[in-house]
Structure formats: C-alpha cells, structure tokens
Amino acid sequence: MSNPLRILKTLDRHLALPAEITLFGRSALALGYPQAPGHFHNTQDVDGILPLAWLQPPDEHKDFWQAVEQTNADLESDGLYLTHLFREVDVILQPDWISRRLRLDLGLPKLIVFRPASIDLILTKMARGDDDDLQDIQFLLKQDSLTSAQLENAFGRARVPDVPEIRELFNRTRPKVLALAAL
C-alpha cells in the first residue's frame, strides 16, 4: 500500500469527528496525480497545509491533534509519520490558493483530503529548490500545461514567508523553474 495512503487511513481511523487536510510534498503528488511514479508512494511522511480559518478558534480541533498523535505512535515502528503540518502563511502559496485546491477521493469516511492546484504545489517546492524538488516540479509541469507567463504571474503573487533563507531560495529557484517549463 502507498505509504501516504496508509498514514491517512490510520489518521482517519483515529478521528472521532470529521476533519480535513490539504496535502503537499510527495504525498500530494503520489495521491493527487494518477500518473505519479511508483516511488512517490514510498515517501515516509505526509505534509499538510492548515488554512488559517480552519485553525480558529485554536482549541476547536482537539480531536484532530489527538488523532495525529495516535497515528504517529501507531506508525513509528515503520518509520512513517505525520508531523509536518504548516499554517498556510508558513508555506509559499498564492493568496487565493484555497479556492483552487482539489479534493481527492480516497474513500476515507471522516477525513476530507485536498491537494493544492499544480501551480501552487510548484510554489511550495520552491522553498528548497533542491534536485528532488526540481524533479517534482518537472513532473508537475508535465501534468498541467503551464506557460512561463502563468508561472511568472504566480511568482509575483506568491506569499513567501518572511524568512531570509526561504526568500533567497525562492528567488534562486525561479529561473530554474522557468527553464524547466521551456523544455
């Protein structure tokens, strides 16, 4: 079974109440694209984006956080985990990303799972811009016919966290992404 799917099924099993998560990283590629290479399913974690509105009020989602803890305890011996859960402002995204996210039908009774649009997933991958991320970006560019103009527009609209290293990597990765789009 796909590692990300196994993690999400475990989370779903521990939820008492309905919840939602927006995937990014390799888990979003593995579960969000039918043509994803098999090795994407080997990722050992699930990364998630939590919309600011979902986080309010702060104590409303205790069931979700307890289910995350139980999931990590259950899967620890297999080296699988769900710990990288970021607020939307801590990830490079366009301000209106949430209106373009896509719901994934994974057959989970309590957990609603989304992934960002491909262009927003590309932005999230630009926070590091390492070789693996560039390969993932190349995969995403093949899934959607994105033009250089669309990418430039997204770069200009992107909310980049106010962390100097992330800003520097984002700016350094921009020409690499445009070069990949030109292939």
Q: Please write the tens of the pLDDT for every residue from 170-181.
A: 999 999 999 999
Distance of CA 168 to the CA centre of its chain: 21
Q: At what angle do helices 62-75 and 3-14 cross, to 10 degrees?
A: 130
Please choose, from the candidates 130, 114, 134, 102, the residue with its C-alpha nearest in 3D space to the C-alpha of residue 47: 114
Tens digit of each residue's pLDDT (9 = 90 or more) over 24-46: 999 999 999 999 999 999 999 99
In this prediction, residue 66 carries a pLDDT of 97
Mean pLDDT, the chain, integer:
95
Residue 20, burial from CB neighbour count under 10 angstroms (0-12, 13-18, 19+): middle
> Using CA atoms, how far apart are residues 14 and 158, in angstroms rounded to an integer?
35
Confidence label for 115 from pLDDT (cuts 50, 70 and 90): very high
